[in-house]
Structure 1
Amino acid sequence: MKELWRNQTFRIIVGSDLLQQLAIWIRNMALLFFIMEQTNNDPVAVSLLTVLEYAPIFIFSFIGGALADRWNPKRTMIVGDLLSAASIAGIILLIQTGLWQSLFAAAFISAVVSQFAQPSGAKMFKRNVEDAHISAAIAITQSLQAIFLIAGPVIGTLVYTKLGVMTSLYSLTVLFLLSALLLTRLPKWQRDEEIIAQGLLADIKAGWKYVYTAKSLRYMSISFAFVGLGVGLIQPLEVFLVTERLQLDKEAVQYLSAAAGVGLLVGGGLLASIQRTNQKTILLGGILFLAVASIVEVLSTSFWLTLTMRFLSGAFLAGVNIVIGTLMIQLVEEHMIGRVNGIITPIFMGTMLLGSAFAGVLMEATSLFTVFVISAVCIVISTGPIMGIAVEREERGN
């Protein structure tokens, strides 16, 4: 662990993530509250905000991943933060003229930029962090996200309620500029090989071919699809666990989210402190526990039992995310990281949103219990391809 913290690249990226997470949560809460005030709590406006935050994952991830493989990752991350800061500055000017609707553009631009910056950070880890420390590095960044999952809404709400929308936006500009300044200290990027001059479409096709021909990545894509479908089926229905099963007010759903966030933090911290881990055991055990937990939660009428399961689910989910993140870096060649990330992430998001779209319909046609059982079955099915990954790696002597 001490050797990892001595790694300058790791420290810089963690520091940048810290600034960006703070900016993201201030942005999320400021946009949400301000738009609700301006539209008199219009649910359509709130839904539009969510769509604009997720749509770029489908629209730009393929393109963003391919371009990230072509571009200098250090420069890409710096330019991404500068563009985010510039977009917020422009939106401040528009709001001052009365065009508050420009806030929707802020959510969209920020989501677009992340499709280029995220795979660039993975490339920096791939080159500058030793394989033995990759798992711990992913665990620490996962823990950082968990901390902000818990504290982010509180910080963002406090900044907005105490200082208002304009100060919130000014703080975003400063945070993104500070992140860009910090990233300038990353080591200079030297390309190992020249990029063959070919069209962007050819690059994207090469990415799909790479995922399809690599057994481990193909299995991972299939597994992601089933996990995403299972998660999507129950995510919109969690509030009904609170109102129907626990007989509590809908606002109590926040306690389940907080418990999951604490679980993510604890799970990530534990894995970061362990020198050696069995990836196969953590991945299979974590996914199977998520399936079991969904059944226990839908059967439970005890608040504390449900809360405990949500905490443990968060801890096991941290393990699953860390192993998957580690495999994504270890299994993928450096020059393909962007494209692979741009293909596999939308598979998960797409199936998750598909599950969410049918969740309400299935619940009305059957019951809350049936939907959670279907979700558990989808998650269990996802372990089949994961076993394929383990077998394939053993055959290769990994």
Structure 2
Amino acid sequence: MDFSFGPQDEAFRAEARSWLAEHRVPPQGADPHSWERELGRGGWIGIGWDRTYGTYGNRAATLLQQVVWAEEYARAGAPARMGHIGENLLAPTLIEFGDPHQRDRFLPPIARGEELWCQGYSEPGAGSDLAGIRTAAVRDGDTYRITGQKIWTSLAREADWCFVLARTEEGSRRHHGLSFLLVPMEQPGLIDIRPIRQMSGEADFNEVFFDGATADTAHCVGGEGNGWRVAMGLLALERGVSTLAQQIGFAAELDEVIRLAPAHDPLIRERLITQWAELKAMRWNALRTLGSTDDPGAPSVAKLLWGGWHQRLGELAMLVRGPAASVGPQDWTPEQPYVLDPLQRLFLFTRADTVYGGSDEIQREIIAQRVLGLPREPHP
């Protein structure tokens, strides 16, 4: 299989690289919307969207050109995208499952970088087992009244909107009676966002409490009761292009570990070679499955591969650092948050790689049932 990029792809790469070099990243603490709006003005948001329903100021791009942009963005060290949930998860879901009103209302402001989104899936009792959610939405005229709690919600404090999986049929169980609702986050007294403080003093995640929060019935994607189908369609989008871009960051982390590794230790050298070879294999697998719609196990295989690989890299980073891996910054005081260095953060964060986004156990269950045709596990 030919994994090379053609002349048009390389021309697109040169354009992307030039644009990223010319535009300055906003300073730390700047308005989180500012960089998204800059990307929107450049036409770099939503370049992979299906253009059947029209364009929204973004560029047309093939799948390989989407890969090129994602790789160049990561290679340039550009900031983590505040709008990636809206652009890469919600927008393709609206293109596939939404109605014309929903697409016309929500796609243009995402493409302009004007509205940010977060995801309301996981709950304290329903993480990997998403069908166990209990957040309820009761219809009240032209609105739904939403009551419940979501957890591990990234970007909830910055987001303008949240797509929420809620139970709209009283008494329903498992994947029945769920709906996919688009909920405005600016509802004082009805939505409470509480940061989840980590041991380092940082708060990357949030709990979100809905106490009668409202959502327009016109903003129920896919129709009432079809939320499970829409939610699974959205989760299947986490493959291909985003995985390839992610691997650029992985390669940079691996290079840093290699730089610090003792050259005289053959065992560490062997593990580094293994990590390098596995990263190459992950790239080829992602390219092989790019754009595939007939392989239900592809996203799960990709998640199993990169989750375990990244976790092993974090462990290896601590091994090559030796005793210094457990030492904090010399100028730290109890009055300030405990600041981790990049490799310490890599190690601690990767402990969750095999859990978030669907645990390894859930991914293996999906492969067993949908690819191998094995019987389903019994649920209470």
Whether these two folds match at TM > 0.5 is no
TM-score between both structures, scaled by the size of structure 2: 0.33
Query: Greater strand percent: which structure?
Result: 2
TM-score between both structures, scaled by the size of structure 1: 0.32
Query: Greater helix percent: which structure?
Result: 1
